[in-house]
Amino acid sequence: MAINIGYFGLSLNTSNLSGDPFMNCFLSAVSEVPAYVVSTWLLKRCPRRPLLSGFLLLGGGVLLLIQVLPEDLPALALVLEMTGKFGFTMAFGIVYIFTAELYPTVIRNAGMGLCSSAARVGSITAPYVIHLGTYSRALPYLVMGSLTVASCGLNYFLPETLNKDLPETMDQMQHYKGCCSRQKTQKCLEHVPNGGVSLH
């Protein structure tokens, strides 16, 4: 959801940038081409979790940085906005692969459908977030940047899936090494002092 809000928010915001709106729209579209090419190359070689977190942080950090720029530097604001669009496009390309790898086969279609529905809510929300700019120029950037940075932190709790067999069942999924995996839960419970709950 956060990726869609940032992605479509920046796309819709190109008309509000200083300079030629047609050139701004062209640059916004062009920034997506290398993003998809690079993300495809990186997905074959890099762990998904830090890769997604890095580009979420890039997109969100740029959004939070834009608002502190002085208004007499429109060219720099445009460069940062295109950098943010690049980051969100990279995250967009990565998150679909990562999400499909997270769900076990028995619920993969349902899980992807649920996540896609949540993403569509983000797409619907994006125009309203941009409309907040009528009250304060910085408000849309604050909302989009904060949501993206928060999702970057939450991404830490997901398991890594690079070069791992996709889980077939719910039980296999629970044994994936994530921050909240069953293996870590078992280790924590095994060290509970006498009188506590134990799995054995």
Q: Where are the domains of the chain?
A: 2-160, 169-200
Supply the pLDDT for residue 167.
Answer: 83
Per-residue pLDDT of 78-92, as tens digits, reads 888 888 889 999 998
Residues 12 and 129 sit within 8 Å (Cβ to Cβ)? no
Q: What mean pLDDT is reported for the chain?
A: 81
Mean pLDDT in each 10-residue stretch from start to end of the chain (200 residues)? Answer: 84 78 86 90 90 90 83 82 89 89 90 90 88 86 89 88 84 70 44 39
- For 80, counting Cβ atoms within 10 Å of its Cβ (0-12 exposed, 13-18 middle, 19+ buried), the class is middle
Measured CA to CA, the distance from residue 5 to residue 127 in angstroms comes to 9
**CATH code of domain 2-160:** 1.20.1250.20
Q: pTM here?
A: 0.78
Angle at 20 between CA 15 and CA 23, to 5 degrees: 85
pLDDT in tens, 162-189: 888 888 888 887 777 665 555 444 443 3
